[in-house]
Chains A and B, each alone.
Chain A
Amino acid sequence: MAKRVGLEVTVAVAEAVALCRIDMAGVYPITPQSHIAEHLSNMVADGLLDAEFVTVESEHSAMSAVIGASGAGARAYTATASQGLLLMNELLPIASAMRLPICMAVANRAVSGPLNILNDHSDIMPQRDTGWISLFAENSQEAVDLSIQAFRIAEDQDVMLPVNVNIDGFQLTHMVEPVEMPTQEEVDQFLPPFVPHATLHPSKPVTMGAFSMADYFTEIMKAKDEAIRNSKKVILDVWEEWGRLFGRSYKPVESYKADDAETLILTMGSMGETAQLAIDELRDKGVKAGLIKLRLWRPFPFAEIKAAVKNTKKLIVTDRAVSFGGPGGPVFSEIKSALYAETTRPAIYNYIYGLGGRDITVHDFVGMFEKVLADTENSSADTYEFWGVRE
């Protein structure tokens, strides 16, 4: 039976990863991820985790080393944030093209410059097109659950793709929250040993990472696109099974009081809980407000997003990253694009907020609703605004 314990989220994530019986981890320290690396090292040092912990000299080498280990057939894990993720960027599409089921935590942190160690999503957004399955956690329990589910999804023979689990830096990673830690028996039952279909072993020599010119390259890209699109079915199955085993359900798009909502707000990551309080406050005032939370970023859940906003008049999309000189925040662009062909679609507003750790309160969310509701002509729909910026 699972115990309910109070743990810092990074520690809980490291414990969850250890329950997955990883063979190898290659992690380079970076705030606010480092506690994951430290706790994994502690467990290895105390003999509680039977794995090779490789103290790499950079995030580039962290990703390189986990690619090597995964290629050798090991269950391999890494974690990073911000500049570290950007340093890994070169290797992310290679890991997915090689169909290596690597799992990685991203303790989301703003990208320099200026240097900032606090939370936003500007690190993960540029990784959108690297072919990784991308999941967002809202609280400690989700961070733990998704970290375990990630291996099961990644290693499914119909998927064989790397997975990143996004955990908001500090705002989530450094919280001490109650969490139900699954037992080793429960995880063993849920997550079978990794059975790779080709490994770097002399018993059956294979060539990994061959180079390809124009004659095959397009086909390889198409195969990767199909693989990640098809992974959605497996993700849904895994979440369904998780719900049965642990009683906690996961959906690509979560919703809160959204069914009859005339105005919806969309969040990703830890902001969901704050937004939920704002919805309660607005509902108390008689406003038909609702919340949808995008958990599955890649593969993008088109059908679920369409269904979630079908009956709403106005949709507020929040973004924690900027697409400089672009059409709006990255999430906003995706949502707008996904809804373009719909005959009835809501007016879509975009607020860019919470950059570099800027605090966002219930009051801010209420303010966004009030501003959007006052816009009776929808004159500021389809545009974006930096929320709370001093000008």
Chain B
Amino acid sequence: MMNIVENFDLFAPRLINKQELLSSGHRACSGCAEVLAVRLMCKALGENTVIASATGCMEIVSSMFPTTAWRVPWIHVAFENAAAVASGVEAGLKALRKKGKIDDRYIKVVGMAGDGGTMDIGFQALSGAMERGHDMMYVCFDNEAYMNTGIQRSSGTPMGASTTTAPAGKISSGQKTWKKNMPDIMVAHNVPYVATVCPSYPLDFIRKIEKAKSIKGPSYIHCFSVCPTGWRSPSHTAISMGRLAVETGVFPLFEVENGHYRVSPDMPKILKPIRDYFKPQGRFRHLTAEEIDLIQERVIIEHKKLMEKAKYLKTGNE
């Protein structure tokens, strides 16, 4: 059999858009899985895309004046309003297209932000934009803390993780709360399409972005984005760490289309123990066996809930 890596140019165009819409030369940390996810997202979306980005790592690394890494139209306004800006871009383009002031090609408008910009400070703007039914895709690049400002906790930080504002100490074990379940909150908005993705699974990732792109209405993508800098894990393990998050059930891959749940075929039948995923990460190093057991129990419960939803809320033809 031909070696796929050695013959990449032969195979890749069939699997993936060759165009680099996020150029190299950006300032992301080495081993950043988030910037890889953004690159894959752009490839899946293609050039007829407009992106509204929140303040955050991806904004800072890609747009230092007078340079830019973006080959698609891109706008950044502030931290908490990527969804609102995207909704305005969508409304503006819609009006201009209707009046014949721009050509009538279909343009996908995308809002993007980190976990803080989505789950915390940008939560209201996102809820509003999704509820209003704009034809836009929103992607949360979740690296589980405010990494751009220096690893402070967010509502996306997992239980037990040590961050600079919820640090592990003599009487504290880091984050004291369970991670906010954003995909379910978006499902509760009755948007036509919600999916979780991880760039460690590029084909699943691209398929879901393409699916979201095809939806004429709001869609929400929750992207698990490994951050070696913030998680205190080796930078060369960003991809394997993403796979471990999926294999342990910490971050399950699934999609919800018009309320119907479907678990990704990439999900294992039997979950690995979460300690396999916790072990290489400095942010979980302080956890005791009992604390890990507590989190393990929760991961299993959440996984069961998801499996039940997938069983009872599946699409008609499955």
| Chain A residues close to B by CB (< 8 Å) | 23-24, 26, 50-52, 54-58, 60-61, 64-74, 76, 90-91, 94, 98, 193, 199-203, 205-213, 216
Interface centre among A50, A58, A91, A202 (most CB of B within 10 A): A202
Residue total for B at the interface (Cβ-Cβ under 8 A)? 51
B91: which A residues are within 8 A, CB to CB?
A: 24, 26, 52, 54, 65, 68-69, 74
A51: which B residues are within 8 A, CB to CB?
A: 95
A91 touches B96 (CB 8 A): no
B66 contacts A by Cβ under 8 Å: yes
B107: which A residues are within 8 A, CB to CB?
A: 201-202
Report which of B64, B77, B90 forms a contact with A64, defined as CB distance below 8 A.
Answer: B77
B85 touches A23 (CB 8 A): no
B125 touches A94 (CB 8 A): no
Count, A-B residue pairs, CB within 8 A: 175
Distance of B205 from chain A, by nearest CB (Å): 22
Distance of A200 from chain B, by nearest CB (Å): 4
B93: which A residues are within 8 A, CB to CB?
A: 72, 74, 200-201
B64 touches A211 (CB 8 A): yes
B101 touches A202 (CB 8 A): no
B81 contacts A by Cβ under 8 Å: yes
B203: which A residues are within 8 A, CB to CB?
A: none
Interface readout for B40-55 with A: 1 if CB under 8 Å, 0 if not? 0000000111101000
Complex Cα distance A57/B49, Å? 25
Distance of B186 from chain A, by nearest CB (Å): 15
B99 touches A50 (CB 8 A): yes
| Chain B residues close to A by CB (< 8 Å) | 47-50, 52, 59-60, 63-68, 70-78, 80-81, 84-96, 98-99, 101-103, 105, 107, 124-125, 127-129, 131-132
* A52-B91, A200-B50, A202-B107 as given contacts; A68 in contact with B86, CB under 8 Å: yes
Complex Cα distance A26/B84, Å? 10
- B79, closest chain A residue (CB): A90
B88 touches A26 (CB 8 A): yes
Report which of B49, B59, B60, B89 forms a contact with A71, defined as CB distance below 8 A.
Answer: B89
- B85, closest chain A residue (CB): A68
Complex Cα distance A31/B225, Å? 43
A71 touches B75 (CB 8 A): yes
A202 touches B78 (CB 8 A): no
B89 touches A60 (CB 8 A): no
* A23-B95, A69-B89 as given contacts; A202 in contact with B81, CB under 8 Å: no
Distance of B154 from chain A, by nearest CB (Å): 19
B125 touches A201 (CB 8 A): no
A208: which B residues are within 8 A, CB to CB?
A: 73-76
- A70, closest chain B residue (CB): B92
* A60-B125, A61-B81, A205-B71 as given contacts; A68 in contact with B89, CB under 8 Å: yes
B92: which A residues are within 8 A, CB to CB?
A: 23-24, 52, 68-74, 76
